[in-house]
Amino acid sequence: MKKNKEAIGHKPPIAAIATAMGEAGISVIRVSGRGVFDIISSVFRGKSLAGQASHTVHFGRMVEGGRVVDEVLVTLFRSPSSYTGEDTVEISCHGGVLVTQEILELVLRQGVRHANPGEFTLRAFLNGKLELTQAEAVADLIHARSKKAVEAAGQQLEGALGRYVQSFRQQIIDATAMVELELDFVEEDVEFADKERLRQLLEEVGSEIDRLLETYETGRIVRHGVQTVFAGRPNAGKSTLLNTLMGKDRAIVSATAGTTRDLIDAEWSYEGLTFILTDTAGLRETVDDIESEGVRRSESAVSNADLILYLKDLSEPFDPMEKSLLRRIQKSSEGRVLLKVGTKKDRLAEGEANCEECDLIISARTGEGIEELKKRMRSEVLKNRDIDTGGLLVTSSRHRDALIKARHHIDQSIAALKAGLSGDFLSIDLRGALNELGTITGEITTEDLLDSIFSRFCIGK
Ligand SMILES: Nc1nc2c(ncn2[C@@H]2O[C@H](COP(=O)(O)OP(=O)(O)OP(=O)(O)O)[C@@H](O)[C@H]2O)c(=O)[nH]1
Ligand SMILES: [Mg+2]
Protein backbone atom coordinates (compact mmCIF):
# COMPACT_ATOMS: atom_id res chain seq x y z
CA MET A 1 0.00 0.00 0.00
CA LYS A 2 2.78 2.41 -0.92
CA LYS A 3 1.39 5.85 -1.68
CA ASN A 4 2.75 8.41 -4.08
CA LYS A 5 3.67 11.91 -3.07
CA GLU A 6 0.28 13.42 -3.97
CA ALA A 7 -1.54 10.93 -1.74
CA ILE A 8 0.55 11.80 1.30
CA GLY A 9 -1.13 14.34 3.52
CA HIS A 10 1.53 16.65 4.90
CA LYS A 11 0.50 17.28 8.48
CA PRO A 12 1.67 20.24 10.58
CA PRO A 13 5.32 19.84 11.56
CA ILE A 14 6.39 17.91 14.66
CA ALA A 15 9.81 17.51 16.27
CA ALA A 16 11.45 15.40 18.95
CA ILE A 17 14.84 14.20 20.07
CA ALA A 18 15.27 10.78 18.45
CA THR A 19 18.30 9.57 20.38
CA ALA A 20 18.56 8.61 24.06
CA MET A 21 19.21 11.55 26.37
CA GLY A 22 22.66 11.56 27.92
CA GLU A 23 26.19 12.55 27.11
CA ALA A 24 27.10 11.05 23.76
CA GLY A 25 29.05 11.73 20.57
CA ILE A 26 26.01 13.03 18.74
CA SER A 27 22.27 13.45 19.23
CA VAL A 28 19.63 13.53 16.52
CA ILE A 29 16.55 15.76 16.44
CA ARG A 30 13.92 14.67 13.98
CA VAL A 31 11.52 17.16 12.36
CA SER A 32 8.76 16.05 10.02
CA GLY A 33 5.76 17.62 8.28
CA ARG A 34 4.59 20.53 6.22
CA GLY A 35 7.20 23.19 5.41
CA VAL A 36 10.07 21.73 7.47
CA PHE A 37 12.77 22.69 4.94
CA ASP A 38 11.81 26.36 5.16
CA ILE A 39 11.41 26.21 8.93
CA ILE A 40 14.85 24.71 9.50
CA SER A 41 16.42 27.05 6.90
CA SER A 42 15.23 30.00 8.99
CA VAL A 43 17.43 28.93 11.93
CA PHE A 44 20.26 27.30 9.93
CA ARG A 45 23.29 29.16 8.70
CA GLY A 46 25.03 27.35 5.85
CA LYS A 47 24.06 26.35 2.32
CA SER A 48 20.46 27.17 1.40
CA LEU A 49 18.45 24.00 2.03
CA ALA A 50 15.63 24.98 -0.33
CA GLY A 51 16.74 23.38 -3.59
CA GLN A 52 18.74 20.48 -2.14
CA ALA A 53 18.07 16.91 -3.17
CA SER A 54 16.63 14.20 -0.93
CA HIS A 55 19.05 12.11 1.14
CA THR A 56 21.74 14.78 1.26
CA VAL A 57 23.68 15.98 4.29
CA HIS A 58 24.68 19.60 4.89
CA PHE A 59 27.06 21.16 7.36
CA GLY A 60 26.12 24.41 9.05
CA ARG A 61 25.21 26.14 12.31
CA MET A 62 21.96 26.41 14.21
CA VAL A 63 21.51 30.07 15.05
CA GLU A 64 19.11 32.13 17.06
CA GLY A 65 19.33 35.88 16.42
CA GLY A 66 23.04 36.31 15.94
CA ARG A 67 24.00 33.56 18.42
CA VAL A 68 25.36 30.20 17.27
CA VAL A 69 23.78 27.38 19.28
CA ASP A 70 25.78 24.50 17.78
CA GLU A 71 27.51 23.21 14.67
CA VAL A 72 25.35 20.57 13.08
CA LEU A 73 24.80 18.28 10.13
CA VAL A 74 21.30 18.31 8.69
CA THR A 75 20.02 15.41 6.61
CA LEU A 76 17.15 16.04 4.23
CA PHE A 77 14.54 13.48 3.22
CA ARG A 78 12.03 14.55 0.63
CA SER A 79 8.51 13.13 0.59
CA PRO A 80 7.67 10.34 -0.01
CA SER A 81 11.18 8.93 0.53
CA SER A 82 11.37 9.33 4.28
CA TYR A 83 10.45 7.28 7.32
CA THR A 84 7.17 9.18 7.82
CA GLY A 85 6.55 9.73 4.12
CA GLU A 86 6.56 13.50 4.74
CA ASP A 87 9.36 15.99 4.20
CA THR A 88 11.74 15.32 7.06
CA VAL A 89 14.92 16.89 8.44
CA GLU A 90 17.23 15.18 10.89
CA ILE A 91 19.58 17.48 12.75
CA SER A 92 22.69 15.81 14.15
CA CYS A 93 24.23 17.98 16.84
CA HIS A 94 26.82 17.51 19.57
CA GLY A 95 25.49 14.99 22.04
CA GLY A 96 25.11 16.98 25.23
CA VAL A 97 21.81 16.98 27.07
CA LEU A 98 21.57 20.78 27.23
CA VAL A 99 22.68 21.56 23.70
CA THR A 100 20.25 18.95 22.26
CA GLN A 101 17.43 20.36 24.34
CA GLU A 102 18.30 23.89 23.26
CA ILE A 103 18.16 23.00 19.56
CA LEU A 104 14.84 21.20 20.03
CA GLU A 105 13.42 24.26 21.79
CA LEU A 106 14.74 26.53 19.04
CA VAL A 107 12.90 24.39 16.47
CA LEU A 108 9.72 24.33 18.60
CA ARG A 109 9.76 28.14 18.77
CA GLN A 110 9.38 28.19 14.96
CA GLY A 111 5.80 26.94 15.27
CA VAL A 112 6.63 23.24 15.37
CA ARG A 113 4.78 21.02 17.84
CA HIS A 114 6.54 18.51 20.12
CA ALA A 115 5.82 14.98 18.84
CA ASN A 116 3.85 12.49 20.94
CA PRO A 117 5.31 9.04 21.62
CA GLY A 118 5.42 7.06 18.39
CA GLU A 119 3.95 9.90 16.35
CA PHE A 120 6.55 9.64 13.56
CA THR A 121 5.72 5.95 13.18
CA LEU A 122 1.98 6.71 13.35
CA ARG A 123 2.45 9.09 10.42
CA ALA A 124 4.45 6.44 8.60
CA PHE A 125 1.51 4.07 9.09
CA LEU A 126 -1.12 6.61 8.05
CA ASN A 127 0.95 7.43 4.95
CA GLY A 128 1.17 3.78 3.97
CA LYS A 129 4.91 3.45 4.58
CA LEU A 130 4.33 0.64 7.09
CA GLU A 131 1.59 -1.91 7.78
CA LEU A 132 0.24 -1.92 11.33
CA THR A 133 2.04 -5.16 12.26
CA GLN A 134 5.26 -3.61 10.97
CA ALA A 135 4.75 -0.45 13.01
CA GLU A 136 4.20 -2.57 16.11
CA ALA A 137 7.37 -4.50 15.27
CA VAL A 138 9.33 -1.24 15.35
CA ALA A 139 8.38 -0.84 19.03
CA ASP A 140 9.16 -4.50 19.73
CA LEU A 141 12.56 -4.14 18.14
CA ILE A 142 13.36 -1.18 20.37
CA HIS A 143 12.19 -3.02 23.49
CA ALA A 144 13.73 -6.39 22.51
CA ARG A 145 15.73 -7.99 25.32
CA SER A 146 17.10 -11.09 23.62
CA LYS A 147 18.49 -12.16 20.27
CA LYS A 148 15.37 -14.22 19.59
CA ALA A 149 13.12 -11.24 20.38
CA VAL A 150 15.12 -9.17 17.87
CA GLU A 151 14.67 -11.94 15.29
CA ALA A 152 10.92 -12.23 15.88
CA ALA A 153 10.46 -8.44 15.68
CA GLY A 154 12.67 -8.32 12.57
CA GLN A 155 10.51 -10.90 10.86
CA GLN A 156 7.35 -8.98 11.72
CA LEU A 157 8.98 -5.74 10.58
CA GLU A 158 9.68 -7.40 7.29
CA GLY A 159 5.89 -7.87 7.01
CA ALA A 160 5.61 -11.67 7.23
CA LEU A 161 2.78 -11.81 9.79
CA GLY A 162 0.77 -9.09 8.05
CA ARG A 163 1.08 -10.82 4.68
CA TYR A 164 0.10 -14.19 6.12
CA VAL A 165 -3.00 -12.86 7.89
CA GLN A 166 -3.88 -10.82 4.79
CA SER A 167 -3.70 -13.95 2.63
CA PHE A 168 -6.45 -15.77 4.50
CA ARG A 169 -8.37 -12.57 5.07
CA GLN A 170 -8.55 -12.26 1.29
CA GLN A 171 -10.04 -15.76 1.04
CA ILE A 172 -12.81 -14.73 3.44
CA ILE A 173 -13.38 -11.50 1.50
CA ASP A 174 -13.96 -13.55 -1.67
CA ALA A 175 -16.31 -15.93 0.13
CA THR A 176 -18.26 -13.05 1.69
CA ALA A 177 -18.66 -11.43 -1.72
CA MET A 178 -20.26 -14.63 -3.05
CA VAL A 179 -22.59 -15.01 -0.09
CA GLU A 180 -23.67 -11.37 -0.29
CA LEU A 181 -24.18 -11.50 -4.03
CA GLU A 182 -26.57 -14.35 -3.44
CA LEU A 183 -28.51 -12.20 -0.97
CA ASP A 184 -29.05 -9.62 -3.72
CA PHE A 185 -30.65 -12.26 -5.92
CA VAL A 186 -32.67 -13.95 -3.23
CA GLU A 187 -35.91 -13.68 -5.24
CA GLU A 188 -34.38 -15.51 -8.20
CA ASP A 189 -33.23 -18.33 -5.94
CA VAL A 190 -29.81 -18.65 -7.56
CA GLU A 191 -26.75 -20.06 -5.79
CA PHE A 192 -23.41 -18.35 -6.33
CA ALA A 193 -21.60 -19.88 -3.40
CA ASP A 194 -20.91 -23.59 -3.37
CA LYS A 195 -21.78 -24.28 0.28
CA GLU A 196 -19.62 -27.37 0.60
CA ARG A 197 -16.61 -25.56 -0.89
CA LEU A 198 -17.28 -22.60 1.42
CA ARG A 199 -17.36 -24.83 4.50
CA GLN A 200 -14.05 -26.42 3.47
CA LEU A 201 -12.48 -23.04 2.98
CA LEU A 202 -13.62 -21.81 6.38
CA GLU A 203 -12.30 -24.93 8.03
CA GLU A 204 -8.93 -24.42 6.35
CA VAL A 205 -8.80 -20.78 7.47
CA GLY A 206 -9.82 -21.90 10.98
CA SER A 207 -6.90 -24.35 11.13
CA GLU A 208 -4.50 -21.69 9.92
CA ILE A 209 -5.66 -19.41 12.73
CA ASP A 210 -5.25 -22.29 15.23
CA ARG A 211 -1.71 -22.87 14.02
CA LEU A 212 -0.89 -19.20 14.51
CA LEU A 213 -2.49 -19.18 17.96
CA GLU A 214 -0.39 -22.16 19.00
CA THR A 215 2.76 -20.10 18.50
CA TYR A 216 1.63 -17.43 20.97
CA GLU A 217 2.88 -19.07 24.16
CA THR A 218 6.38 -19.33 22.66
CA GLY A 219 6.08 -15.89 21.09
CA ARG A 220 5.16 -14.31 24.41
CA ILE A 221 8.15 -15.92 26.12
CA VAL A 222 10.48 -14.84 23.34
CA ARG A 223 9.19 -11.29 23.47
CA HIS A 224 8.89 -10.73 27.21
CA GLY A 225 11.37 -13.22 28.62
CA VAL A 226 10.70 -16.13 30.99
CA GLN A 227 9.56 -15.00 34.45
CA THR A 228 11.60 -17.33 36.65
CA VAL A 229 11.28 -17.52 40.41
CA PHE A 230 13.62 -19.25 42.85
CA ALA A 231 11.67 -20.54 45.83
CA GLY A 232 12.51 -22.69 48.82
CA ARG A 233 13.29 -22.68 52.52
CA PRO A 234 15.76 -20.15 53.93
CA ASN A 235 19.36 -21.15 53.24
CA ALA A 236 18.43 -23.50 50.38
CA GLY A 237 20.97 -21.79 48.15
CA LYS A 238 18.64 -19.60 46.06
CA SER A 239 20.80 -16.49 46.04
CA THR A 240 23.90 -18.60 45.40
CA LEU A 241 22.26 -20.16 42.33
CA LEU A 242 21.19 -16.74 41.02
CA ASN A 243 24.78 -15.55 41.33
CA THR A 244 26.09 -18.73 39.69
CA LEU A 245 23.82 -18.32 36.65
CA MET A 246 24.61 -14.61 36.37
CA GLY A 247 28.33 -15.28 36.75
CA LYS A 248 28.57 -12.46 39.29
CA ASP A 249 27.63 -11.61 42.86
CA ARG A 250 24.25 -10.03 42.35
CA ALA A 251 22.52 -11.16 45.55
CA ILE A 252 23.90 -11.34 49.08
CA VAL A 253 24.70 -14.87 50.22
CA SER A 254 25.24 -15.87 53.83
CA ALA A 255 25.01 -18.85 56.11
CA THR A 256 22.34 -17.03 58.12
CA ALA A 257 18.84 -18.21 57.23
CA GLY A 258 16.62 -15.31 56.14
CA THR A 259 19.33 -13.32 54.34
CA THR A 260 17.22 -12.30 51.35
CA ARG A 261 14.30 -10.13 52.45
CA ASP A 262 12.99 -8.55 49.26
CA LEU A 263 12.64 -9.75 45.68
CA ILE A 264 15.77 -9.35 43.58
CA ASP A 265 15.40 -9.31 39.80
CA ALA A 266 18.15 -9.97 37.30
CA GLU A 267 18.10 -10.61 33.55
CA TRP A 268 19.98 -13.62 32.31
CA SER A 269 20.21 -14.85 28.71
CA TYR A 270 20.78 -18.40 27.64
CA GLU A 271 20.86 -19.57 24.01
CA GLY A 272 18.91 -16.59 22.70
CA LEU A 273 16.21 -16.68 25.38
CA THR A 274 15.95 -14.17 28.24
CA PHE A 275 15.08 -15.30 31.74
CA ILE A 276 14.02 -12.70 34.28
CA LEU A 277 15.33 -14.33 37.44
CA THR A 278 13.67 -13.43 40.72
CA ASP A 279 15.37 -14.37 43.95
CA THR A 280 12.98 -14.47 46.88
CA ALA A 281 12.99 -14.57 50.66
CA GLY A 282 13.11 -18.15 51.92
CA LEU A 283 9.66 -19.45 52.81
CA ARG A 284 9.01 -20.10 56.49
CA GLU A 285 6.73 -19.06 59.33
CA THR A 286 8.26 -15.96 60.85
CA VAL A 287 7.45 -13.33 63.45
CA ASP A 288 9.81 -10.77 61.94
CA ASP A 289 7.63 -8.12 60.18
CA ILE A 290 10.09 -7.39 57.37
CA GLU A 291 10.77 -11.03 56.73
CA SER A 292 7.09 -11.99 56.70
CA GLU A 293 6.41 -9.27 54.14
CA GLY A 294 9.27 -10.81 52.12
CA VAL A 295 7.65 -14.23 52.36
CA ARG A 296 4.33 -12.78 51.22
CA ARG A 297 6.06 -11.24 48.18
CA SER A 298 7.78 -14.56 47.45
CA GLU A 299 4.43 -16.35 47.34
CA SER A 300 2.95 -13.79 45.01
CA ALA A 301 6.05 -13.97 42.75
CA VAL A 302 5.54 -17.75 42.51
CA SER A 303 1.96 -17.31 41.40
CA ASN A 304 3.00 -14.94 38.57
CA ALA A 305 5.94 -16.94 37.24
CA ASP A 306 6.34 -18.95 34.02
CA LEU A 307 9.02 -21.13 35.60
CA ILE A 308 9.47 -21.94 39.28
CA LEU A 309 12.68 -23.48 40.56
CA TYR A 310 11.99 -25.04 43.94
CA LEU A 311 15.33 -25.44 45.69
CA LYS A 312 15.77 -28.16 48.31
CA ASP A 313 18.91 -28.22 50.45
CA LEU A 314 20.02 -31.86 50.24
CA SER A 315 22.07 -31.58 53.42
CA GLU A 316 18.87 -30.95 55.40
CA PRO A 317 16.18 -33.58 56.00
CA PHE A 318 13.08 -33.44 53.86
CA ASP A 319 10.83 -32.97 56.90
CA PRO A 320 7.02 -32.81 56.99
CA MET A 321 7.12 -29.03 57.18
CA GLU A 322 9.10 -28.76 53.96
CA LYS A 323 6.88 -31.38 52.32
CA SER A 324 3.81 -29.31 53.06
CA LEU A 325 5.61 -26.19 51.79
CA LEU A 326 6.42 -27.96 48.54
CA ARG A 327 2.76 -29.05 48.16
CA ARG A 328 1.71 -25.43 48.58
CA ILE A 329 4.15 -24.32 45.88
CA GLN A 330 2.98 -27.15 43.61
CA LYS A 331 -0.58 -25.96 44.02
CA SER A 332 0.13 -22.31 43.32
CA SER A 333 2.31 -23.17 40.29
CA GLU A 334 -0.32 -25.30 38.58
CA GLY A 335 -0.25 -24.85 34.82
CA ARG A 336 3.26 -23.43 34.92
CA VAL A 337 6.60 -25.23 34.87
CA LEU A 338 7.95 -26.34 38.24
CA LEU A 339 11.44 -27.81 38.52
CA LYS A 340 12.48 -29.34 41.84
CA VAL A 341 16.20 -28.88 42.28
CA GLY A 342 18.27 -30.54 45.01
CA THR A 343 21.14 -28.21 46.07
CA LYS A 344 24.52 -28.55 47.82
CA LYS A 345 25.21 -32.01 46.38
CA ASP A 346 28.86 -31.56 47.45
CA ARG A 347 27.74 -31.89 51.07
CA LEU A 348 26.42 -35.39 50.57
CA ALA A 349 28.53 -38.48 50.97
CA GLU A 350 29.03 -40.60 47.85
CA GLY A 351 25.82 -42.44 46.95
CA GLU A 352 23.75 -40.62 49.56
CA ALA A 353 20.53 -38.99 48.37
CA ASN A 354 17.49 -37.73 50.19
CA CYS A 355 15.25 -36.22 47.55
CA GLU A 356 13.43 -38.80 45.45
CA GLU A 357 11.16 -35.99 44.27
CA CYS A 358 13.97 -33.86 42.80
CA ASP A 359 14.05 -33.44 39.03
CA LEU A 360 17.75 -32.76 39.14
CA ILE A 361 20.57 -32.26 41.60
CA ILE A 362 23.20 -29.53 41.59
CA SER A 363 26.07 -28.09 43.52
CA ALA A 364 26.73 -24.39 43.04
CA ARG A 365 30.04 -24.91 44.81
CA THR A 366 31.47 -27.50 42.39
CA GLY A 367 29.36 -26.53 39.36
CA GLU A 368 27.94 -30.04 39.09
CA GLY A 369 24.55 -30.17 37.34
CA ILE A 370 24.53 -26.44 36.49
CA GLU A 371 24.81 -26.93 32.71
CA GLU A 372 22.08 -29.54 32.80
CA LEU A 373 19.90 -27.17 34.83
CA LYS A 374 20.35 -24.39 32.23
CA LYS A 375 19.33 -26.77 29.43
CA ARG A 376 16.31 -28.03 31.38
CA MET A 377 15.16 -24.47 32.15
CA ARG A 378 15.15 -23.66 28.44
CA SER A 379 13.65 -26.92 27.16
CA GLU A 380 10.92 -27.12 29.84
CA VAL A 381 9.54 -23.65 29.11
CA LEU A 382 9.71 -24.13 25.36
CA LYS A 383 8.15 -27.62 25.76
CA ASN A 384 10.10 -28.80 22.73
CA ARG A 385 8.63 -26.02 20.61
CA ASP A 386 11.33 -24.91 18.27
CA ILE A 387 12.31 -21.26 18.19
CA ASP A 388 15.30 -21.83 15.96
CA THR A 389 13.57 -22.61 12.66
CA GLY A 390 12.46 -19.02 12.03
CA GLY A 391 8.73 -19.88 11.64
CA LEU A 392 6.11 -17.20 12.21
CA LEU A 393 5.47 -16.33 15.85
CA VAL A 394 2.53 -14.40 17.27
CA THR A 395 4.17 -12.35 20.02
CA SER A 396 1.52 -9.75 20.79
CA SER A 397 -1.52 -10.28 23.02
CA ARG A 398 -3.43 -7.85 20.82
CA HIS A 399 -2.89 -10.09 17.81
CA ARG A 400 -3.78 -13.18 19.82
CA ASP A 401 -7.05 -11.65 21.06
CA ALA A 402 -8.05 -10.66 17.53
CA LEU A 403 -7.22 -14.15 16.23
CA ILE A 404 -9.32 -15.78 18.98
CA LYS A 405 -12.29 -13.56 18.13
CA ALA A 406 -11.86 -14.20 14.40
CA ARG A 407 -11.70 -17.95 15.11
CA HIS A 408 -14.95 -17.71 17.05
CA HIS A 409 -16.69 -15.99 14.12
CA ILE A 410 -15.38 -18.66 11.74
CA ASP A 411 -16.79 -21.37 14.04
CA GLN A 412 -20.13 -19.60 14.09
CA SER A 413 -20.24 -19.34 10.32
CA ILE A 414 -19.36 -23.02 9.92
CA ALA A 415 -22.21 -23.82 12.34
CA ALA A 416 -24.56 -21.54 10.36
CA LEU A 417 -23.63 -23.34 7.14
CA LYS A 418 -24.19 -26.75 8.69
CA ALA A 419 -27.57 -25.67 10.10
CA GLY A 420 -28.55 -24.35 6.65
CA LEU A 421 -29.15 -20.86 8.03
CA SER A 422 -29.71 -18.06 5.57
CA GLY A 423 -26.95 -16.01 4.00
CA ASP A 424 -27.76 -13.07 6.28
CA PHE A 425 -26.50 -14.94 9.33
CA LEU A 426 -23.49 -16.21 7.49
CA SER A 427 -22.57 -12.79 6.25
CA ILE A 428 -22.68 -11.27 9.76
CA ASP A 429 -20.13 -13.76 11.06
CA LEU A 430 -17.92 -13.60 7.99
CA ARG A 431 -17.80 -9.82 8.34
CA GLY A 432 -17.04 -10.23 12.06
CA ALA A 433 -14.05 -12.42 11.22
CA LEU A 434 -12.92 -9.93 8.56
CA ASN A 435 -13.07 -7.07 11.04
CA GLU A 436 -11.03 -8.89 13.64
CA LEU A 437 -8.35 -9.93 11.12
CA GLY A 438 -8.43 -6.40 9.73
CA THR A 439 -7.46 -4.97 13.11
CA ILE A 440 -4.25 -7.01 12.88
CA THR A 441 -3.29 -5.89 9.39
CA GLY A 442 -4.48 -2.32 10.01
CA GLU A 443 -7.27 -2.30 7.40
CA ILE A 444 -9.64 -1.69 10.29
CA THR A 445 -8.44 0.86 12.80
CA THR A 446 -9.99 3.08 15.41
CA GLU A 447 -8.47 6.04 17.16
CA ASP A 448 -8.41 4.13 20.46
CA LEU A 449 -6.61 1.21 18.88
CA LEU A 450 -3.96 3.45 17.32
CA ASP A 451 -3.58 5.37 20.58
CA SER A 452 -2.99 2.22 22.58
CA ILE A 453 -0.48 0.88 20.05
CA PHE A 454 1.56 4.04 19.56
CA SER A 455 1.61 5.14 23.19
CA ARG A 456 3.99 2.19 23.79
CA PHE A 457 6.60 3.88 21.63
CA CYS A 458 9.27 6.22 22.83
CA ILE A 459 9.15 9.89 21.95
CA GLY A 460 11.10 10.56 18.77
CA LYS A 461 10.24 7.19 17.15
N1 LIG B 1 28.47 -26.51 50.30
C2 LIG B 1 27.64 -25.75 49.62
N3 LIG B 1 27.14 -24.62 50.18
C4 LIG B 1 26.28 -23.87 49.48
C5 LIG B 1 25.91 -24.20 48.14
N6 LIG B 1 25.03 -23.27 47.73
C7 LIG B 1 24.87 -22.39 48.74
N8 LIG B 1 25.62 -22.75 49.80
C9 LIG B 1 25.72 -22.07 51.10
O10 LIG B 1 24.45 -22.06 51.73
C11 LIG B 1 24.28 -20.87 52.49
C12 LIG B 1 22.98 -20.21 52.10
O13 LIG B 1 23.06 -19.80 50.76
P14 LIG B 1 22.14 -18.65 50.16
O15 LIG B 1 22.37 -18.65 48.71
O16 LIG B 1 22.31 -17.38 50.91
O17 LIG B 1 20.72 -19.26 50.49
P18 LIG B 1 19.27 -18.62 50.24
O19 LIG B 1 18.38 -19.71 49.82
O20 LIG B 1 19.39 -17.45 49.36
O21 LIG B 1 18.86 -18.18 51.71
P22 LIG B 1 17.86 -17.02 52.22
O23 LIG B 1 18.17 -15.78 51.45
O24 LIG B 1 18.16 -16.90 53.63
O25 LIG B 1 16.47 -17.52 51.97
C26 LIG B 1 25.51 -20.01 52.21
O27 LIG B 1 26.42 -20.17 53.28
C28 LIG B 1 26.08 -20.58 50.91
O29 LIG B 1 27.47 -20.43 50.80
C30 LIG B 1 26.49 -25.38 47.56
O31 LIG B 1 26.25 -25.76 46.40
N32 LIG B 1 27.33 -26.09 48.35
MG1 LIG C 1 18.90 -15.54 49.62
115-169: pLDDT as tens digits: 998 899 999 999 989 888 888 888 888 778 778 888 888 888 888 888 899 888 9
Which residue has its alpha carbon closest to ligand 1 atom 2? 344
- Pairwise CA distance, residues 80 & 92, whole Å: 21
Same domain, yes or no, for 98 and 9? yes
Does residue 335 sit within a domain? yes
Q: Is the CB of 242 under 6 A from ligand 1?
A: no
pLDDT at 1: 42
The one-character DSSP state at 283 is P
Q: Is 298 in the pocket of ligand 1 (CB under 6 A)?
A: no
Is residue 27 assigned to a domain? yes
Burial class (CB within 10 angstroms; exposed 0-12, middle 13-18, buried 19+) of 137: buried
- Position 4 scores a pLDDT of 45
Q: Would you put residue 141 in left (φ > 0), alpha (ψ -120 to 50) or beta?
A: alpha
* CATH code assigned at 121: 3.30.1360.120
Whether residue 451 is contained in a domain is answered as no
Residue 453 lies in a domain: no
Note the pLDDT tens digit of each residue in 398-429: 999 999 999 999 999 999 988 888 788 888 99
In a domain, 448, yes or no: no
If residue 72 lies in a helix (H) or strand (E), which one and from where to where?
Answer: strand 67-77
Separation CA 221–CA 394 (nearest Å) = 11
Q: Ligand 1 atom closest to Cα of 232?
A: 19
- Strand order from edge to edge, sheet including 337-343: 264-270, 273-279, 226-232, 307-313, 337-343, 360-361
Distance 237 CA to ligand 2 centre (A): 7
pTM for this model (two decimals): 0.72
φ, ψ of residue 229 to 5 degrees: the values are: -120, 135
If you average pLDDT over every residue of the chain, what do you get?
87
Tell me: do 231 and 373 sit in the same domain: yes
Classify residue 240: in a domain, yes or no.
yes
Whether residue 291 is contained in a domain is answered as yes
Among 80, 98, 131, the domain-final residue is 131
350, pLDDT greater than 50: yes
Residue of 244, 253, 366 to test ligand 1 pocket, by largest number of atoms within 8 Å of CB: 253
CATH number (domain holding residue 292): 3.40.50.300
Domain count, the chain: 3
Q: Is any ligand 1 atom within 6 A of the Cβ of residue 233?
A: no
* Cβ 253 under 6 angstroms from ligand 1: yes
For the Cβ of 364 lying below 6 angstroms from any atom of ligand 1, the answer is yes
257 in ligand 1 pocket by Cβ < 6 Å? Answer: yes
Whether 268 contacts 274, CB under 8 Å: yes
Asked, for residue 454, whether it belongs to a domain, the answer is no
User: Residue 188 sits in which domain range?
Assistant: 146-215+394-441
Question: Can you list the alpha helix ranges (DSSP code H) found in 419-443?
Answer: 423-441
Count helices and strands (H / E) in the chain. 15, 13
How much distance in Å is there from the Cα of 242 to the middle of ligand 2? 9
Section 95-111 average pLDDT:
92
User: Any idea which of 331-335, 344-348, 449-453 has the lowest mean pLDDT?
Assistant: 449-453
Task: Evaluate whether 302 touches 332 at the Cβ level (below 8 Å).
Answer: yes
Q: Give the confidence band of 339 by pLDDT, cuts at 50, 70, 90.
A: very high
